[in-house]
């Protein structure tokens, strides 16, 4: 019972800068309101690398989420990772981030995800709830990207 969705957003920032931010896992908590903290990071960010973040979604208990890089293509500005809770549950999601240039020098960011619940509770309860929440969460996070980049550039 997979659940798929896509959000596309226009971001007023150069595509290279947007891609760099999206793949800088240390800055995830700055622009993604549902990521409370980076718990564990890889020594090298490459295909197969793993990192763990602490998630905090309103109305839900906090949980640690482990992600694994599936594809990292800076030239195509494409980033794919698989994520699952760090508690041994076999359920997982796959995320694809694509940053394309726009005619005015800005960017179009397309985020696609596929939730793949494996347990009865996740299939019938948790995945349904998260699926409804994610569209708004992703759109709000992408809306924070230009301000996050401006702060980063101002800091030097």
CATH assignment of the domain containing 38: 3.30.530.20
- Total structural domains in the chain? 1
| Predicted pLDDT at 122 | 77
Handedness of CA 109, 57, 134, 93 (dihedral sign): positive
Binned at pLDDT 50, 70 and 90, residue 1 comes out as low
| Predicted pLDDT at 105 | 92
Does residue 151 register a pLDDT over 90? no
Q: What percent of the chain has pLDDT over 70?
A: 97
Domain that holds residue 112: 3-155
**Alpha-carbon distance values, 73 to 15, 45, 81 (Å):** 13, 12, 12
| Maximum C-alpha span of the chain | 49
Whole-structure pTM value: 0.90
CA atoms within 13 A on the CB side of 3: 19
| Predicted pLDDT at 53 | 98
* pLDDT, tens digit, 9 for 90 and up, residues 31-52: 999 999 999 999 999 999 999 9
Contact 111, 95 (CB under 8 A): yes
Distance CA 30, CA 53 (A): 12
């Amino acid at each position: 019972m997979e659940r798929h969705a896509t959000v596309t957003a226009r971001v007023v920032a150069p595509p290279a800068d947007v891609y760099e931010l999206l793949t800088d896992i240390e800055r995830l908590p700055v622009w993604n309101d549902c990521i409370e903290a980076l718990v564990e990071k890889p020594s090298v960010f490459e295909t197969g690398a793993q990192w763990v973040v602490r998630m905090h979604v309103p109305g839900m208990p906090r949980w640690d989420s482990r992600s694994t890089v599936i594809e990292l293509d800076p030239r195509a500005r494409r980033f794919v990772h698989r994520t699952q809770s760090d508690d041994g549950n076999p359920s997982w999601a796959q995320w694809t981030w694509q940053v394309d240039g726009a005619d005015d020098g800005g960017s179009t960011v397309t985020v696609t995800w596929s939730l793949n619940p494996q347990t009865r509770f996740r299939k019938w309860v948790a995945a349904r709830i998260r699926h409804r929440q994610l569209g708004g969460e992703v759109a709000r996070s992408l809306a924070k990207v230009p301000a996050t980049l401006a702060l980063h550039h101002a800091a030097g």
